[in-house]
């Protein structure tokens, strides 16, 4: 028998996600703002202003100061060859999301992910609003002129322009539904820790984007999202079983996964479950 068993339901996690969306919107809304030049009263250039353009409006949580509470996380603009004005502004907003632990009962998986959800798997669904800025022809003409003028008259390099983001006043918006399935696995934490620390990690088995047309674009988006999830999101979703100091009790719990179980951690009965053996010791205080 394990010393400690813990379980949390997918329902609780889904409510937590909605709670976080409300109170930390910057975690779910990513924006590369457009930039526009600013001038003083005499018409001299003074710098750049920013437009934080989104496709889906984001409210401030109640009671916060709108002047100091951020709603978006800054992203670098999209860089593409031939864009004379620097990067392309965009936004990516997760407007809704939920998780479903086996057995699946809240997410209808698309055929591409071979429903029903397999044992010990979880499914994730997200509704994503995306937008990309597209400069007007007039702006493109102006940028080309400025680019030529700066280069021919003042020998300025294109770097100046590459550091800018295109000045647009709206985004071309589209939305998509993202589905993913995954599982948990464990591995020793890299490094010379003794005893070795076990990490609980997330692996993604399948990603499917729906409602993006044409299919080629959908495949490209899926490819990018799969890469983004594996390279950026999953490395952050690691739970290392390191000693837990409970200051209130003055004790330290050093957990290890209970061995000999078919699945530990497990995703079953709509819960994420983990069985731990713990070594309980008095917390050493400084000076003792």
Partner 1 sequence: MSDVTLKVSEQTFGEVFNLVYPGKSLKFKGESPGAKDAAIKTSETSTETSKSKTYLNVTVPWFAIDAELHLVAANGIEFNDGNTFTINEIDIAWDKLILKVGLDIPTMKFGGFCLFKVPKSVPVFGGQCALEVPPIDLFTKTPDIEIPLDLSPIFKSIITEISAICSIEIRLENEKGKDYWAVHPDPIAVDADLVDIHDTLGQAPAILYAAVGTIVLNFQAAFPATWVMDVFLGFVGLPTMTSLVLDVLDIHDDIEEWLMKALEQSIGIDNLLMEVIFDAILDGDAVFKTPKLFEILEEKKVKPDELGGFAVAAPAGDVTLPAVSFPVIKPEVVFDDDEMVLTFDFEF
Tell me which stretch binds partner 1 (CB under 8 A): 4-12, 108-116, 169-177, 190-198.
Answer: 4-12
Minimum CB separation of residue 11 from partner 1 in Å reads: 7
Site membership for partner 1, residue 18 (CB under 8 A):
yes
- The pattern of x and - marking residues 231 through 260 that bind partner 1 according to CB under 8 A reads ---------------x-xxxx---------
Q: How far apart are CA 5 and CA 266, in angstroms?
A: 11
Whole-number Cα distances in Å, 236 to 200, 223, 241, 264: 11, 20, 15, 20
Choice from 46, 193, 263, 282 touching partner 1 (CB under 8 A): 282
Residue 51 is encoded by which pair of tokens? 């437009």
Minimum CB separation of residue 26 from partner 1 in Å reads: 6
Q: How far apart are CA 31 and CA 173, in angstroms?
A: 13
Q: What is the largest CA-CA distance in the chain?
A: 79
Cβ pair 77, 158 in contact under 8 A? no
Cβ pair 102, 117 in contact under 8 A? yes
**Which residues from 115-134 bind partner 1, rule CB under 8 A?**
none
Residue that the structure tokens 């937008």 belong to = 131
Site membership for partner 1, residue 278 (CB under 8 A):
yes
Site membership for partner 1, residue 7 (CB under 8 A):
yes
Tell me which stretch binds partner 1 (CB under 8 A): 66-74, 82-90, 114-122, 237-245.
Answer: 66-74
Choice from 56, 73, 175, 189 touching partner 1 (CB under 8 A): 73
Q: What is the three-class DSSP state of 216? A: helix
DSSP string, 172-212: EEEEEEEEEEEEEEEEEPSS--SSPPEEEEEEEEEEEEES-
Choice from 37, 74, 170, 219 touching partner 1 (CB under 8 A): 74
Q: How far apart are CA 249 and CA 237, in angstroms?
A: 28
Choice from 55, 58, 94, 99 touching partner 1 (CB under 8 A): 58
Cβ pair 279, 130 in contact under 8 A? no
Cβ pair 238, 199 in contact under 8 A? yes
Site membership for partner 1, residue 69 (CB under 8 A):
yes
Choice from 42, 44, 68, 236 touching partner 1 (CB under 8 A): 68
Cβ pair 267, 202 in contact under 8 A? no
Q: Which is nearer to partner 1, 205 or 283 (CB)?
A: 283
Site membership for partner 1, residue 149 (CB under 8 A):
no
Positions in the binding site for partner 1 (CB under 8 A): 1-9, 11-12, 15-16, 18-20, 23-26, 29, 31, 33, 50, 52, 58, 64, 66-74, 246, 248-251, 270-271, 278, 280-282
């Amino acid at each position: 028998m394990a010393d400690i068993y813990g379980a949390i339901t997918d329902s609780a996690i889904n409510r937590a996600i909605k709670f976080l969306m409300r109170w930390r919107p910057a975690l779910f809304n990513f924006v590369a703002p457009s930039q526009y030049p600013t001038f003083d009263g005499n018409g001299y250039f003074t710098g750049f202003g920013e437009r934080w353009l989104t496709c889906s409006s984001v409210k401030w949580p109640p009671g916060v100061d709108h002047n100091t509470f951020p709603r978006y996380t800054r992203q670098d603009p999209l860089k593409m060859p031939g864009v004379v004005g620097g990067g392309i502004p965009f936004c990516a907003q997760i407007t809704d999301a939920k998780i479903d632990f086996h057995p699946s009962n809240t997410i209808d998986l698309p055929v591409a992910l071979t429903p029903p959800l397999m044992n010990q798997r979880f499914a994730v669904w997200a509704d994503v609003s995306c937008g990309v800025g597209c400069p007007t022809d007039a702006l493109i003409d102006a940028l080309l002129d400025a680019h030529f003028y700066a280069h021919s008259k003042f020998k300025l390099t294109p770097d100046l322009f590459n550091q800018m983001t295109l000045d647009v006043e709206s985004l071309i918006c589209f939305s998509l539904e993202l589905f993913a399935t995954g599982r948990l696995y464990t591995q020793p934490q890299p490094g010379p820790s003794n005893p070795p620390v076990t990490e609980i990690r997330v692996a993604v088995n399948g990603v499917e984007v729906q409602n993006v047309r044409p299919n080629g674009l959908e495949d490209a988006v899926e490819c990018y999202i799969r890469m983004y999830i594996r390279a950026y999101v999953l490395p952050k979703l690691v739970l290392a079983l390191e000693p837990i100091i409970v200051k209130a009790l003055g004790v330290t719990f050093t957990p290890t996964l209970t061995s000999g179980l078919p699945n530990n951690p497990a995703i079953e009965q709509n819960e994420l479950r983990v069985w731990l053996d713990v070594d309980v010791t008095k917390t050493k205080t400084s000076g003792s």
